[in-house]
Amino acid sequence: QDRRSVPFCDARVLHARQRCDLFRASLEQCILKTYRTQQCNQTDQTGPFFSRRTEHDPARLRGFQADATERAIAIGERTKDAWSIANGLITKGTAMGHSDAATGLTLVVEGTARAQREGLIDTVSRGVNNRVLLSGVLGRPRPELRAEIESALEWLRAHGVERFGMAYLRNMLAWIRAADGDLDGARALLDEIFASGSRVGFVFSFILDTLRDGPTTSIARVDEVLRTGERAKDAQGQIPAQVMAALVRMLAGRREEAALHYARARDDIQATRRGELFAGLWQTPALLAAYALEVPGWSELMVRDPASPTESLRQARVRLLAAHEALTRGEHELAAREFAAHLTLLPQFANE
């Protein structure tokens, strides 16, 4: 329906509604973290931050996002609002990408292309970032990903986007440099990101520093992140930092301290019900360190059948859990086979 056929007041109401829908869809994860809480027993010894248990329901979140974005896209089409349509497609594709990366990528590509045609620079920046993420999940070769990121960065610079607005893309480029063996180049790129005022990639910087300079140099920085997470009451930042604190101490030979940090991370996950934090990047180091430090109870915390963007990634997570459980039973040969199968199912190894 043409915008001119919609009464002016009705059109203003529709615009307000669709933008609210998109805003709510994009921030639903934050809403869930903040408000969907249950009060624990006040005698809980884990402290004031962990006296709250946040309930996370990914299926509910994806359903909400799908409904909200469908409404926003429909209203955008009625009022010929390119911003609503482009952002709606990108939001919907990103939400779908958690369980179906191929379909999600198609929608994100469509939304990003529309934003480029309409000159919606901020929307293009968001769309390109999510497009590259989903392309990586689907196993696109690194040279192609690198070329896509560099092309996107060039386009964004040409349209006046500052370094802060390109932090996520530059972080992904740093990961690619590291995978190619250029650790110094990856670390230099992260320093440029931090200089822009963004903290994107700070956990990755710990990994690089440990690989380049040894674990001791990372201990003080990880501890600083832990203190920041405690002050901010940020489980999503603090719990992985606990795991990183344990890993760098283990590598530095400070096993007793490492085990304490690791046991605390386990207890924090139990208190907050945030096992889904370890369905991705942190699952492998979390399980390997649990075995090395002889800290029990980790495999029980992991999401057994997590929603995955591809079937191969879901199977990779299942095989990793199987490897860990075989290790804990002392079946080392079986564990080695399961871990090898885990690696072959990851897209970055499948294309090597």
The pLDDT value given to residue 286:
73
- pLDDT beyond 70 at 344: yes
Give the pLDDT confidence of 73-86 residue by residue, as tens digits.
Answer: 888 888 888 998 99
Contact in structure between 135 and 168 (CB atoms under 8 Å): no
pLDDT band at 9 (very low <50, low <70, confident <90, very high): very low
The pLDDT value given to residue 187:
94
| Residue, of 242 and 112, whose pLDDT is higher | 112
The pLDDT value given to residue 263:
86
- pLDDT beyond 50 at 20: yes
**Residues 84, 71: Cα–Cα separation, whole Å:** 10
Least confident of 116-120, 233-237, 243-247: 233-237
The size of the chain, in residues, is: 352
Q: Token digits for 117?
A: 């045609």
Please list, in sequence order, all residues whose beta carbon lies within 8 angstroms of the beta carbon of residue 99, skipping any fewer than 6 positions away. 62, 307, 308, 309
* Strand, coil or helix: 37: strand
pLDDT band at 287 (very low <50, low <70, confident <90, very high): confident
Give the pLDDT confidence of 99-146 residue by residue, as tens digits.
Answer: 888 999 999 999 999 999 999 998 998 999 999 989 988 888 889 999
- pLDDT beyond 60 at 175: yes
Taking residues 238-260, what's their average pLDDT?
Answer: 86
pLDDT band at 275 (very low <50, low <70, confident <90, very high): low
- pLDDT beyond 70 at 46: no
The pLDDT value given to residue 207:
83
Contact in structure between 339 and 351 (CB atoms under 8 Å): no
Q: Percentage of residues in the chain with pLDDT exceeding 90?
A: 19
Contact in structure between 307 and 80 (CB atoms under 8 Å): no
Contact in structure between 320 and 289 (CB atoms under 8 Å): no
Taking residues 29-48, what's their average pLDDT?
Answer: 35
pTM of structure: 0.70
Give the pLDDT confidence of 179-224 residue by residue, as tens digits.
Answer: 888 999 999 999 999 888 887 887 788 888 888 888 888 888 888 8
- pLDDT beyond 50 at 51: no
How are beta strands 52-54 and 37-39 bridged, if at all? antiparallel
| Residue, of 348 and 333, whose pLDDT is higher | 333
Buried b (16+ CB within 10 A) or exposed e, 187-221: bebbeebeeeebebbbbbbbbbbbeeeebeebbeb
Contact in structure between 111 and 89 (CB atoms under 8 Å): yes
* DSSP character string of 128-190: HHHHHHHHHHTT--HHHHHHHHHHHHHHHHHTT--GGGGHHHHHHHHHHHHHTT-HHHHHHHH
pLDDT band at 278 (very low <50, low <70, confident <90, very high): low
- Indicate the helix (H) or strand (E) that contains 11: helix 8-35
The pLDDT value given to residue 14:
47
Taking residues 280-298, what's their average pLDDT?
Answer: 73
- pLDDT beyond 80 at 330: yes
The pLDDT value given to residue 61:
59
Quote the mean pLDDT of the chain: 76
